[in-house]
Amino acid sequence: MDGDRVAMNFSTRVGRQVLIAIPVLFLVIFFVWPVLSILRLGLAPEGALNLAPLLDVLNDATLWSVAWFTLWQAVLSTVITLVIALPGAYVLSRYRFRGRGLTRALVTVPFVLPTVVVGAAFTSLGVSRSLTAILLAHVFFNYAIVVRTVGSLWSHIDDREQQAARVLGAGRVRTFVSVTLPTLRPAIGAATAIVFLFCFTSFGVILILGGPGYATIETEIYRQTAQHLNLETAAVLSLFQLGAVIAALAVSNRMSGDRIALSTLRPANQNTLPVIGKRRIMLGVNLFVIGLLIGLPLTQLVVRSFDGGLDGYRGLTRTTFGFAEPPISSVWTSLQYALIATVLAVFVGGSAAFALVRRRERAKGRLLNLLVMLPLGISAVTVGFGFLIAFDAEPFELRSSPAIIPIAHALIAIPFVVWLMVPVLTAIDPRQREAAAVLGARPSRVWREIDFPIGLRAALVAAGFAAAISLGEFGATLFIVRPDTVTLPVVIFRLLGRPGQEMYSQAMAASTLLMFLTAGSVLAIERLRSPHATVF
């Protein structure tokens, strides 16, 4: 009996080490190494420390203005997003009305849409390149983050404390500031940091709706690399961006980790309010905002794709100048890459999720969590740039391999897979495992019979999200794509850059196809979400 127990403990330890080794090896090779390669190129291009590129950047007034614009547009975009989205978070989390689930799914669609499609949606409305266009697109893109993150907590707040404050004479504003806001602070802080992060590293929106007059660090990295072949300056800019991103992630982790008094929380299904009286006005106003902000650009995108009848869609089936194959072939290419990236992301992210659940309070668990989540904050352009540098020589010469694209997509999707799976696995009652162990079940059987069936549903949700992210990934792909491996977002970007109504109609048609592909993934996610799923 003791021998069997020792063997079981040994196999359990080996299994846990394997679960940790899978994500660590993947992230060290495809994330840490590319980032270190950027560090080496920026600070030690000849093998020895050289601060000249760093000093050149620090002394360049133009680059300082780019950095300043990157910062203040991200702050302004974040503030506007919070002002517009917080009322929507309240309505969609607390009001009980027909179609609430569908509305929640639809407001999530922009978040997984490629930024190039977001840019195309606003150009279809006739919005010219300007700061206003950038700000509107950022609100459109990040609205779901606030609604999902803050709304998820808001739906659990117990109204009894607010009612007690009102009985004691506090007005609505004072009750909100003194009672509700302190409880919501962790979610609002986390949402603020995440929105700022995405606005700070925005690429496709700035590239399409901003133009040369509104360059950010992200677009400047692309310009220095792709147009000027100035890799050292691009590397230094990547370092600055990396520092800002890590700081934003630290704020997000600290805010989301703030403790909330359990006495203030209740099950979400006990907190919904009927839509009566003034609530009807509140609901109507927010549904109008959602329709105007999200529904109008997407609807107009579809309408503009039919400007010439079906000519835009027919044009996608013909070989156009600058494309090795008809643009429609990129749909199949994108689907293939999405399938491979999804399998990779779920395998690596799922391994990390199971390992994190077992080591949640241990130092190794915290380090693994930090390593897994870092790609969430690193810009896609930095990822693509790092891939170009790191995988240009043996033993991993991948620059000319099509495999580099789904690997990059999987790297970006892994944090979301972990984000979705960990809360579900954590919610498993440990008494189920203990009872199975008492009945003589081996750890492997306990995992097969208890953890795996529950985790499978979360993995399916994660797979849908990973597929949507891969279908829409643009920043990293633009760096590493080859003429025979062009994805649909890259096709849209190139079509938008060509003059003529024919090219524009094809861009709108391709954007519509991609929108429906990603929307399908989001709707599937909403149907599969379990009660323990996270904000997304």
Helix (H, G, I), strand (E, B) or coil at 302: helix
State the total domains in the chain: 2
Instruction: Please give the C-alpha separations between residue 55 and each of 61, 236, 292, 532, in angstroms, as whole numbers.
Output: 12, 10, 46, 50
pLDDT in tens, 246-272: 777 676 666 555 544 444 445 545 567
102 and 244 assigned to the same domain: yes
252 and 315 assigned to the same domain: no
* DSSP code at position 127: P
- Of 245, 273, 304, the residue at which a domain comes to its end is 304
- In sequence order, the 6+-apart residues with CB closer than 8 A to the CB of 536 are 108, 111, 148, 416, 419, 420, 465, 525
| Residue 56 is assigned to a structural domain of this protein | no
Instruction: Please give the C-alpha separations between residue 115 and each of 110, 437, 525, in angstroms, as whole numbers.
Output: 9, 49, 20
pLDDT exceeds 80 at position 130: yes
- The identity of residue 234, as a single letter, is A
Q: In this predicted structure, what is the pLDDT of residue 7?
A: 45
- Of 304, 332, 354, the residue at which a domain comes to its end is 304
Q: Specify the CATH number for the domain of residue 341.
A: 1.10.3720.10
314 and 173 assigned to the same domain: no
395 and 490 assigned to the same domain: yes
275 and 138 assigned to the same domain: yes
| Residue 361 is assigned to a structural domain of this protein | yes
- φ/ψ region of 277 (left if φ > 0, alpha if ψ in -120 to 50, else beta) reads left
Structural domain including 415 reads 1-50+307-536
| Residue 405 is assigned to a structural domain of this protein | yes
* Number of helical (H) and strand (E) elements in the chain, helices listed first: 26, 2
Q: In this predicted structure, what is the pLDDT of residue 210?
A: 80
80 and 215 assigned to the same domain: yes
| Residue 57 is assigned to a structural domain of this protein | no
Kindly report the pTM of this predicted structure.
0.74
- Token pair in block for residue 27: 């992230």
| Residue 59 is assigned to a structural domain of this protein | no
pLDDT exceeds 60 at position 202: yes
Q: In this predicted structure, what is the pLDDT of residue 172?
A: 66
222 and 328 assigned to the same domain: no
74 and 4 assigned to the same domain: no
pLDDT exceeds 90 at position 81: yes
Most confident range, picked from 379-383, 442-446, 447-451, 504-508:
504-508
97 and 116 assigned to the same domain: yes
pLDDT in tens, 36-50: 887 777 777 776 777
| Residue 527 is assigned to a structural domain of this protein | yes
385 and 446 assigned to the same domain: yes
- Token pair in block for residue 515: 């929108």
- Token pair in block for residue 516: 């429906």
pLDDT exceeds 90 at position 453: no
Mean pLDDT score of the chain: 77
89 and 168 assigned to the same domain: yes
14 and 121 assigned to the same domain: no
Choose between 46 and 412: higher pLDDT.
412
Is residue 466 within 8 Å of 407, Cβ to Cβ?
no
| Residue 400 is assigned to a structural domain of this protein | yes
| Residue 55 is assigned to a structural domain of this protein | no
- Of 280, 304, 328, the residue at which a domain comes to its end is 304
Q: What residues form DSSP beta bridges with 95?
A: 273
